[in-house]
Amino acid sequence: MSMTVEEALIEVFGGRRGFLSRGPVLLMQRNPTTEVISGRILAYGPISHTPWGVPKPDCPDCRTNLNVQAQVKTGGKVRWACVCGLVSKGPLFKKPSFVEHVDAGWLQDFYWVEYPIPNPAYKVTWGQKGVDGGSKGGALMEGRRKDSMDVKN
Ligand SMILES: [Zn+2]
């Protein structure tokens, strides 16, 4: 019986979801022929929290992803929404091509994520919520501009 390293890693952790969900496990592998080292992250990624185990995109206004939430839509796709009012425009986001779902029943929210993760992981066009075409404007935007000026001063 042969087993891939990925399968062995999953076997070793033997159902300890709690342990694995505390932090990602990085698996580095060296190709014996090419000497090329590749990496994969065994990442916990419940879709409403950290979809597909990939860090959420940064909000361009807040310059962090701390306030960005994934709004789950039909078909397991998401729209990004920041508490400041910016949302992702255009098509919804689905599982990126560099992510693969872990094929183990008890690891349903776990994914193999290529390492290093492409930067940016998501190409997001941000816009004001409820405004078409991603154009910014309105009282909310002016209010936020004032806020960010206050922070700088
Ligand atoms: Zn924001």
Q: What is the pLDDT of residues 36-79, one digit of tens each?
A: 999 999 999 999 999 999 999 999 999 999 999 999 999 999 99
28 C-alpha vs ligand 1 centroid, how far in Å?
A: 34
Residue 87: closest CA among 148, 146, 141, 134: 134
Q: Between 141 and 87, where is the model more confident?
A: 87
Q: Is the pLDDT of residue 148 over 60?
A: no
19 C-alpha vs ligand 1 centroid, how far in Å?
A: 31
| Average pLDDT estimate for 102-129 | 91
Q: Decide: pTM greater than 0.75.
A: yes
| Average pLDDT estimate for 106-110 | 83
| Average pLDDT estimate for 130-148 | 50
pLDDT band for position 15 (cuts 50, 70, 90): low
Q: In which residue are the tokens 């992702």 written?
A: 88
7 C-alpha vs ligand 1 centroid, how far in Å?
A: 39
> 79-87: long-range contacts at Cβ-Cβ below 8 A with a sequence spacing of 24 or more?
80/56, 80/122, 80/124, 80/126, 81/129, 82/126, 84/59, 84/144, 85/128, 85/129, 85/140, 85/144, 86/59, 86/60, 86/61, 86/126, 86/127, 86/128, 86/129, 87/126, 87/127, 87/128, 87/129
10 C-alpha vs ligand 1 centroid, how far in Å?
A: 37
65 C-alpha vs ligand 1 centroid, how far in Å?
A: 8
